[in-house]
Amino acid sequence: MKPIRIALTKGRLESKTIDMLERLGYDCTNARKKGRKLIMPIGSGEIEVVLAKAADVVTYVESGVCDMGVVGKDTIMEKGGTFYEVADLGFGKCKFALAVVKGKNLYEGYHNLTIASKYVNVAKNYFEQKSMDVDIVKIEGSVELAPVLGLADAIVDIVETGTTLKENGLVVAEEVCPVSARLIVNIASMKLRKKEIEDLIDKMENDVQKRRAKEA
């Protein structure tokens, strides 16, 4: 039988997922010593991991070339897609936040706000929920520059510790929503390989519960 193929977001989420798979009893030597390989077997070959950028993880799962994927909620919110989001894996925690130059009153006056963000759809949806019309400017690099240079009134961005904001004279004005790693599953795979996939989901969810119990 062919292995269950799981797309992992390169970097910290990749590392945390490999840690989880090892706790579940899978031999992850190939992933630990991957070199430049992007596809490798895990365990006794019953799982195959594929390393990809976050947005591509969604694409691979949605298209069906991968059965499952681990990706941040931020990517899911921004990119969207057609798949099952089946579990919050409890790591990769951070948050979306609205940040402004320290001391600035964002809602003072009646002009249309200009918001800079890498996450255009997240920013747009947030202000739509507040029934506010805003102008969105997409920034690919260091979005903290936009309000400092006067390009935007505020930014919507991922915040983990807040250090980068502080060092650039910005503060969190509003918390938008929490973000963490999510397990996603291809719709057809869930039907065709239901037992295998649900068994793996159960194991992962049990691991999450054990970690939460330790943290409590």
Share of the chain above pLDDT 90, in %: 91
CATH value at residue 145: 3.40.190.10
86 and 10 in a single domain? The answer is yes
Distance CA 23, CA 32 (A): 14
pLDDT digits (tens, 9 = 90+) for 65-115: 999 999 999 999 999 999 999 999 999 999 999 999 999 988 887 778 999
168 and 192 in a single domain? The answer is no
The closest alpha carbon to 57, from 48, 47, 67, 70, belongs to 70
88 and 184 in a single domain? The answer is yes
102 and 154 in a single domain? The answer is yes
139 and 210 in a single domain? The answer is no
pLDDT digits (tens, 9 = 90+) for 138-187: 999 999 999 999 999 999 999 999 999 999 999 999 999 999 999 999 99
- pLDDT at residue 76, as a whole number: 97
Number of domains the chain is built from: 2
98 and 170 in a single domain? The answer is yes
Beta bridge partners of 8: 51, 70
The closest alpha carbon to 104, from 144, 162, 147, belongs to 147
127 and 174 in a single domain? The answer is yes
77 and 156 in a single domain? The answer is no
- State pTM to two decimals: 0.91
Tell me the pLDDT band of 210, cut-offs 50, 70 and 90.
very high
The closest alpha carbon to 94, from 128, 122, 125, 52, belongs to 122
Q: Which two tokens stand for residue 171?
A: 């503060």
81 and 186 in a single domain? The answer is yes
131 and 207 in a single domain? The answer is no
Domain carrying residue 12: 4-92+180-215
